[in-house]
Chains A and B, each alone.
Chain A
Amino acid sequence: MVNPQPHRSQRLVWLEGIRIFAVIGLLLYHAQVVFTGSPYTPQPTGLLDNWQHLLIANQHFQQGGFFFHLISSLVWFGFQFFSVFILLSGFTLVLSLQGKTLETGPFLRQRFARILWPLWTIAWLGYPILWALGTATGRSSYEAWTILVGSTFPLAFAFDGAVLVQTSQSWWFVPLILSLVGGFPWLWTLLQRWGSRNLLVVALFVTLVYRGLAIYWLDSPFPYSLPLAANNGWQPFLLLPASLGTFVLGMGAGHSYCQGRGPAFWQPRQALLLGLLLYSLGFFCQFYRWGWLLTDLLLPSGLVLVGMVGFRALAKSQLMQQMVLGLGGYSYSFFLIHGLVVDHTIHWVIQDNTGLYFLLLPIMIVGTLILAILVEYISPLLQRLVVGLLRDVDYVLCQNPDPPVAAWQPVVGDPVCYRGESGWTIVKVEQLLDEQEFWLCQVSNGWKSIWVRQEDLEPAANSPQALAIRSSPDRPNQSSAFDQ
C-alpha cells in the first residue's frame, strides 16, 4: 500500500526576504530612537509640519551629509514594519495549515511554543550575561521584578507588555502576537463558514469602528510613539480589534494563495503599482487624525506588495535565494534580541558619539544576527531539557500514573506514521519486557530503517488499525501534563 508523504508547505523566498528586511528596518529605527532620545514621531498636524519636525530631528546627524540624512529620514518610519508583521502573521498561519485540518489544541501549543521558547531562551541566558557585564562595568542592571516578569512571561501577562518593555522596547509586540495567534482558530473557523471576503468585510468594519472610537472618543495618540511605558494613552491601539483588519487581510491573502490565486499571483508590474499606491496613501494618512483609521491597513499592504516584487526579482539569483531562505528562519529571534543589543551598545559604548553610532550600526546588525542564530540553536536544546525535567517531576510526583497501554498490536507490513510523519512501514517487531511488555518496531521509509518504540508510532490514517483505534470508546491517553 502506498503511504503518501506528507505535504510540506514550502518557504517562500519573498516572504522570508520581507521578514529580514523588516527586522533590520526595526533595528535601525530602534537604534535611531534610542540614540536621539525619540525626537520624532508622525503627528496629526499635516504633511508640512511633520516635514519640519523631521528636519529638526535629523539635526542629530548633521555631520553625516546628504546620504545619512536621507537614510535617517527613512529610518524614522521603520515602525511601519510592526504592522507588516501582523499582516504576515495572518498569511503564514493560514499557509501552515495548507493541506491539514486545524486541531486547535496542538496548533496553539505548537505556535505558543514557537513564540515563547526563543523569548525564554533569550531571557534566561540574557539576564545573567547582562547582569555580569553590568557588574563588570559598574552599570546598573535590570531590577529583580523585570527579570522575574521577563523570565516567566506570560505569568505576568499584560496586553500592552508594560513590564516587558523594561527589558526590550520591542517586546510590547509579543503579547499582541500571542493574542492574534490565540484568536486565529476562531477566525479560521469563521473564514471556513463565511468565506474570506465576508470575514474580511466584517473584520475591516470592526477595526475601523474600533479605531474610530480610539481616535475620537478615547482620544488616543499615534500608536507607535516610543517609549511605550511613558505614554499609556495609546494603549487602545494595542488591543486585538485595532489590528484585526490587518491580520484578517493577511489570512485572506494566505487563503487565496493556497487556492492558487490572489495578490501573490499578480503580475509584478500590477503588484508594484498597487503597492506603491497603497503605501503612498498610507504614508499620507499617518499625518492626519482621520488617516489613523486607515494607515495601519494601507502601509503594510503596500510594503508587502512592493517587497514581494523586489525580493522575487532578487531571488532570481540562486545565491541570493539561498541566503534569504537561510537567514529568514532567524527573523523572529533577531526581532527579540535587537532591542537588547541596540540598547546596551548605545548606552554602554556609543553614548553621544555620532561617528561611532554610524560605525557600529552594521556591527549591531551582524552581532544581532549571530546571537539570533545562537538562540535558534540553543532554544530547542533548552526546550528538550526543561520539558524533560518537568516530565520527570510529573512522573515521579504523579500518584496514579496511567500504565502504558498498547492501543494496537504492530504487525510486519503495517503502514505507520513515525512522530507524525507518514511513509513508514513496519519491517520487524520485537516484544521486550520493561516492567510491562512493550513492542519495539523496526520501521523503514524505503531509504533508511530505524528501531523505535511503539509509542512513537501511529497507524497510518487509512490503515485498519487506525480506524479501529478511532472507533474505540476507551482510547488510552498516555500523555503527561507536560507533553508538547
Chain B
Amino acid sequence: MRKWTSDLYKLAYTHLLLLGIPTIFYYCLRLGGFTLISVHLAIATFFLVNSLIIFVETSVAAFRRAAVRGRFPFPDPFDKFKRTVKGALGVSGRRYPQPRTPLPRCSVLIAAYLPNEQEIILETLRHILYKVQRPAAGLEVFLAYNTPIDLPIEEDLRRLSQIHPELKIVRVEGSTSKAENLNAVLSLVTGEVSCILDADHHPAPDCFFRAWRWLEQGYDVVQGRNIIRNHASNLLTQNIAVEFETVYGISHVAKSLLTDSSIFGGSNGYWRTATLQKIRFNPAMLTEDIDASMRTLLSGYRILHDRSIITTELAPESFNAFWFQRKRWAQGWLEVGLRYQRRVWKSTKLTSWQKIYWTYLLFFCVIYSVIALQILPLMLSLLLYQGMLPTSDHPYLWFCTVLTFSSGIYQTLATMRVAAGRYSILYFVQHAVMIFAYSILKNMIAIVGLYDHLHGLNKWVVTPRDTQKPNPIPDREPAILAASPAGLGSGK
C-alpha cells in the first residue's frame, strides 16, 4: 500500500515553489521601498469574501430548515412568539411537502471493491435487508463489486442472496472503479427510485420515504446527510465527524436553500432511476459523483439536499488513508471545476444566482488553496526585511482577520446546533481550536492534488477500511418508523 510519505517531496516542492519564490519576490520589492500594503489588502479581501460566504451559509442553514412540519400546536407562548418573529423575518423555514402518492418500488445500489471491503460488506447488506423500511411495491438490493481475485466472501454473499431473493450479487469483470460497477447494474434496476450507497453505509430506516416526498415534487435527485459512525476512534475521526456535520448539515443545506441546487455526494443519494440511467457515471473522472452532479444540473435536472435523510459511514482512521482520500477529492474537484466552469457560465438551465454560486464553488474554491497561501510569503518577506513582524494598525486588516477566524468558530457553533449525532461537546471545542491547523492541512493536500493534476497523475488510491467496531451514534429520530409517509417525523 502506498504511504503518504511518498508524496512528501511533492509537498516540499510545491510549497517551496509557492512560498519560496513569492517570498524572495516580495522581499526584493520591500528592499526597493515598496510597502506592499495593496497586495496585503487584496489577499485580506479574498479571505473576507470567503468568511462572509461562510457566515451567510451558516446563518441560512442554522435558521432555515428544509423540512419542518406544516402546523404545530404551540403550547408554550414563548415558542409561539419565536415562531411568529421568525416567520416575519422570513427565516421560519419551508413546509416540507406531504407525499400524495405511495412510495414506488425502490432499488439500492451498493458499489464495493471487495478485497478492501470484504470485512464490512455483509454487515452493510444485513443492515439494509433487515432495517430499511420497504415500500409496498417492493425493494431490491444490488451489490455490484469488483475483485482481482476470487474471495471466500463471495460464497457467503451467494448464500445470503439465496435467503433474500431481493438481493442480487453482480461481480463486474474487468472493472477497476466504482463508476464501472454502478454502470454495470443500471440496466438491471427495476425500481423507480434508486439509492446509491458505498459498502460502509448504513442508511436510516426511513430513508426512501423521506426522499420520495421531494422526488414526487419534481426533484430528480435527493442527497441525504452522511455522518461518521466510527467517530470515537481517534482525534482524526472526531474531527472528520464534526467536519461532516458542517459539510452535510450546513454547507450543502445552505447551497440547496439558497440556490435550489445541490450535489450528489457519491452515496446516500436517491435518484429517479430513469434520470440515473441517462446520466450514468464517468469512470474517467476521479470524483465520478461530482461529475455526475454537474452533468445532471447542466442537463436541466434538479438536485436537492435534505439533511434529515441520514446514513452513517466510516471515516478513515489513519492519516495515510485520510491523505489519499482528501487528495483524490481535491484533485477530483479541480478536474470537475476545470471541465465544467465555462459550461456553468454558458448554461441555459441554470439561473444567474446558481451560476454565481457554482462559480464560487468551482472556480473560487479551486484558486482558494493557492491564493490563501500567499499571505505567508507576504509575512515572511516582512520578517526577513524588518527582522520581526510588526503589529498592523490598519483597521481593515484587523476586521478581515477577526472575521476570518470567527467564521470558523461560528460555523462550528452552528454545526453543534444542527448535529444529528449527539457527539460530546469536546469534539466541537477541539474542532474549533484545531480548525485553523486542520484547514491548513487540507489546503496542503489540495496543493499536492493540484501538482498531481498538472502532471497527469490521477491514479485512484483505494481508501483502506478499518474493521474495528464502530461506536454507535444515538439517533435523535426513533430507530423504526411506521412504513407509511404519515409516520415521518420532522427533520433538521
Binding site for B on A (CB under 8 A): 128-129, 132-133, 135-138, 381, 384, 388, 391-392, 395-396, 401, 427-428, 430-435, 437, 440, 442, 450-453
Contact = CB atoms under 8 A, between A and B. Distances in A.
Contacts of A132: 24-25, 28-29, 32
Interface in B331-375: 338, 341-343, 345-346, 349
Contacts of B284: 440, 450-453
Contact of A388 (B34, B282, B338): B338
B454 interface: yes
Nearest to A135: B32
B437 interface: no
B2 interface: no
Nearest to B347: A435
Interface string B423-435: 0000000000000
29 contacts: A129-B25, A132-B24, A132-B25, A132-B29, A135-B28, A135-B31, A135-B34, A136-B32, A384-B454, A392-B341, A392-B342, A395-B342, A395-B343, A395-B346, A396-B342, A396-B345, A427-B174, A430-B283, A431-B280, A432-B279, A432-B280, A432-B281, A433-B278, A434-B295, A434-B298, A437-B278, A440-B282, A442-B283, A451-B283
B299 A435 contact: yes
A432 B295 contact: yes
Contacts of A138: 32
Contacts of A440: 282-284
A433 B25 contact: no
B185 to A, nearest CB: 13
Contacts, number: 70
Interface in B13-54: 24-25, 27-29, 31-34
Given A136-B28, A437-B278, 13 more contacts: A128-B25, A132-B28, A136-B27, A136-B32, A384-B454, A392-B341, A401-B346, A433-B279, A433-B280, A434-B299, A435-B295, A435-B299, A435-B343
B340 to A, nearest CB: 9
A51 B217 CA distance: 95
A128 B298 CA distance: 40
A451 B282 contact: yes
B183 interface: yes
Contacts of A396: 342, 345-346
Contacts of B298: 434-435
A72 to B, nearest CB: 34
Interface in B238-279: 278-279
Interface residues of B, number: 29
Contacts of A388: 338
Contacts of B345: 396
Nearest to A381: B454
A319 B488 CA distance: 75
B123 to A, nearest CB: 31
Given A136-B31, A136-B32, A435-B298, A430 B183 contact: yes
Contacts of B341: 392
B389 to A, nearest CB: 20
A451 B343 CA distance: 22
Nearest to A453: B284
A117 to B, nearest CB: 16
Nearest to B296: A433
Most buried by A among B29, B32, B183: B32
A129 B283 CA distance: 42
B344 to A, nearest CB: 10
Interface string B80-113: 0000000000000000000000000000000000
A128 B24 CA distance: 12
3 interchain residue pairs of minimum CB distance:
A135-B32, A136-B28, A451-B284
A440 B25 CA distance: 45
A427 B174 CA distance: 10
Nearest to B183: A430
Nearest to B24: A132
Contacts of A431: 280
A402 B394 CA distance: 52
A453 B282 CA distance: 9
B280 to A, nearest CB: 5
Contacts of A451: 282-284
A433 B300 CA distance: 11
Contacts of A442: 283
Interface in B296-350: 298-299, 338, 341-343, 345-346, 349
A401 to B, nearest CB: 8
A430 B280 contact: yes
Contacts of B280: 430-433
Nearest to A392: B342
Nearest to B300: A435
Contacts of A432: 278-282, 295
A135 B29 contact: yes
Contacts of B32: 132, 135-136, 138
Nearest to B27: A136
B362 to A, nearest CB: 12
Contacts of B29: 132, 135-136
